């Protein structure tokens, strides 16, 4: 399973890189939601700006803090009613809630890619820069890729681990459901002109890679952990 996931991640990374480098899908989709009169009509729409960008982000941030807090509290005062696998899964979830948004935010800070609404094609002043054109002279940094807002929900895919390895079908359904929530929020941002499709796809890829690495690391640490009598923490 581990090698299969690694293979899928490698293939999907190449596919996303090809999509952003050799196709115009980003610009084509952005033009589809751009009003030729000079704006993205959904930029200030309530469902996209207030509900999707504010309310949902606040809710997901509260859930992430709760997951982290629960794991920290259990580490400080282990709950006797928790099984060892459940405890480990809570820790995977908490680490994902912390690291997925953090890593994506850090990558945004070194990104040259601009948001659609900043580009000259859509009323802004900046040049469209593809992923591997980031070193071109005279191009200012846009700090818009990968999609940051999507990361507020993408850590939820770590809920999948609660059904691994014994119930893979349920785990797959949970993965699809949580990924679907993330993609809906990301699509609302694309409708606003805040991100391109590949910005979202890279965020999804990074989240999947991070959650996989966290899960493997936690499980490996568990296998190497010496067994002691008493409460298993």
Instruction: Give the predicted TM-score (pTM) of the model.
Output: 0.92
Does the residue 118 lie in any domain?
Answer: yes
Q: Is 206 contained in some domain?
A: yes
- Mean pLDDT, residues 214-225 taken together: 91
**95 part of a folded domain:** yes
Q: What is the pLDDT of residues 28-56, one digit of tens each?
A: 999 999 998 889 999 999 999 999 999 99
Q: Does residue 137 belong to any structural domain of this protein? A: yes
Is residue 231 situated within a structural domain? no
Residue for token pair 């990361």: 151
Q: Quick check: is 187 in a domain?
A: yes
* Measured distance CA(16)–CA(71) in Å, rounded: 34
Top-confidence residue, 91 or 2 = 91
Q: What is the DSSP string of 159-184?
A: GGGGGTTT-HHHHHHHHHHHHHHHHH
Please determine, for residue 141, whether its predicted confidence score (pLDDT) is greater than 80: yes
Q: Is residue 51 part of a domain?
A: yes
Q: What is the pLDDT of residue 229?
A: 43
Q: How many CB atoms are located within 10 Å of the residue 4 CB?
A: 8
How many structural domains are present in the chain? Answer: 1
Q: What is the average pLDDT across 86-104?
A: 97
Residue 122 structure tokens: 């859509």
Residue 82 domain-assigned (yes or no): yes
pLDDT, tens digit (0-9, with 9 covering 90-100), for 176-200: 999 999 999 999 999 999 999 999 9
Residue 99 domain boundaries: 2-224
């Amino acid at each position: 399973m581990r090698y299969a996931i690694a293979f899928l991640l490698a293939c999907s990374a190449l596919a996303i890189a090809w999509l952003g480098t050799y196709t115009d899908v980003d610009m084509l989709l952005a033009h589809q939601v751009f009003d030729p009169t000079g704006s993205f009509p959904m930029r200030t729409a309530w469902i996209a700006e207030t509900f999707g960008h504010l309310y949902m982000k606040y809710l997901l941030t509260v859930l992430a803090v709760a997951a982290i807090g629960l794991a920290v509290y259990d580490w400080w005062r282990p709950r006797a009613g928790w099984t060892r696998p459940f405890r480990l899964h809570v820790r995977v979830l908490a680490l994902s809630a912390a690291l997925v948004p953090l890593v994506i935010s850090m990558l945004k800070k070194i990104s040259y890619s601009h948001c659609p609404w900043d580009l000259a094609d859509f009323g802004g002043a900046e040049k469209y820069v593809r992923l591997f054109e980031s070193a071109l002279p005279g191009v200012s940094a846009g700090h818009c890729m990968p999609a940051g807002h999507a990361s507020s929900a993408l850590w939820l895919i770590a809920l999948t681990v609660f059904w691994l390895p014994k119930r893979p079908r349920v785990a797959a359904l949970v993965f699809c459901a949580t990924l679907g929530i993330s993609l809906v929020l990301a699509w609302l941002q694309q409708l606003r002109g805040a991100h391109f499709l590949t910005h979202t796809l890279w965020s999804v890829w990074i989240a999947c890679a991070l959650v996989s690495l966290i899960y493997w690391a936690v499980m490996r640490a568990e296998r190497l952990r010496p067994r002691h009598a008493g409460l298993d923490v």
